[in-house]
Structure 1
Amino acid sequence: MADQSAPQDGAAKAWSGRFSEPVSDLVKRYTASVFFDNRMAAQDIRGSLAHARMLARQGIIGAQDLADIERGMAQIAGEIERVEFAWNLDDEDVHLNIEKRLTALVGDAGKRLHTGRSRNDQVATDIRLWLRDAIDTVLGLIREFQLAVLDLAEHHAATPLPGFTHLQVAQPVTFGHHLMAYFEMTRRDAERFADCRTRVNRLPLGSAALAGTTFPIDREFVAAQLGFDEVCFNSLDAVSDRDFAIEFCAASALLMTHLSRLSEELILWMSPRVGFIDLADRFCTGSS
């Protein structure tokens, strides 16, 4: 099964067996992702630990290997948190950087961690974990925003405000009623993120490179360990699907459109010709 064993020691790439000369530095810089995908380090470690516990539970690796992997990963997580971890361009991405450091710390146990998986299903899992965390953070922030809007709208439920069409005074409303329009917009935003989360929260790990693995793995156990609702059912789709990421981007774009709309209204409302509100200088900048 392709790409299911750990890379060999030394400077050679994991895939470099058939190449006759080293990769140029220009190509390394162009193809490496480590300096932006290292933001997924915590998710990569979580996924690897769940995978290791499953391998031990299935008897594929020994208890001592698992203990060594857990010890090594704890040290790596600490190094990353303290900004002491040395990210290496030659190791291409977050996954190989962490795996190489783990192997340096715990030896062959680090190599055996990659049994029954590929970077293909590993990166797909990391992205889903990262996006799930991001969605949960965004939903929390939306909730905080809505509570602030509700509080302000209740306070100004009877404060008159002209309603405009194309910057022309149209009908009277209240400031509270106007604010609640943004509550409704962000309620739809929250619904979109929650709906996206249901498709994000499916486990691709266990699909290996693209066709599964012959090792007797337990994908449902890993899914439960990582809090996934279910596993991805087709291995080819599991390693190639990024629909959920596009959905996240679309939901984010709509949320930012609504927040941009509010920001523009605040700019209009505090302009000298309108003067509905006053913003403290600490929240303002110059026009350029």
Structure 2
Amino acid sequence: ISWCSWEFKFIELDDAFSTGSSIMPQKKNPDICELVRGKTGRVYGDLMTLLTVMKGLPLAYDKDMQEDKECVFDAIDTVSMCLKVLPDMLSTMTVLTENMAAAGRRGFINATDCADYLTKKGMPFRDAYKLTGGLVARCIREGRTLEQLSLEELQEESPLFDEGFYAAVDLLNAVKRRNTWGGPSPEQTQEQIAQAREFVKNHRKQD
């Protein structure tokens, strides 16, 4: 829902899964997402009903427990209904990658990579940390990103900077370098997806 908003605009849902606003013609509401979010309250209610029914019962069957069926069936029906519509919604949505990349650059998530770059060049990390912080502060004042600083501007701060800086702070390269277990690199992401698919496959076999 947040990613659909104008503040983020990272994704756009297909018209089949959204509607216009009753008062703002430019608005596109992520209806399915909002309805599923609303259903969470209902499922939470079912959980609280079940917990309340079972609270304090002795170790045996009690007549109270006939009240557990309705809330369990309702929760299963509600979740199943939500899950049926989500695959089509996700498969038809448009991912606005340029907006995501721009947001990443504005967030200076590659500042650590800048400090690491200087450290690998021989600068003590404490100095690289301080220098990078100054560069980020300058970018914020001037409305720029680290990638937009010229080599001349960078070398005014340290002669260690060279053309390799831009590859070091490239967002995609920064993600690829974090190729540790559970990390965000493409390889690790594919591994996590494969594990999720295997989990679903095994779950279906059990059903």
On whether the aligned pair clears a TM of 0.5, the verdict is no
Instruction: Report the TM-score when normalising by structure 2.
Output: 0.31
Instruction: Report the TM-score when normalising by structure 1.
Output: 0.24
The higher-RCO structure (CA 8 Å, 6+ apart) is 1
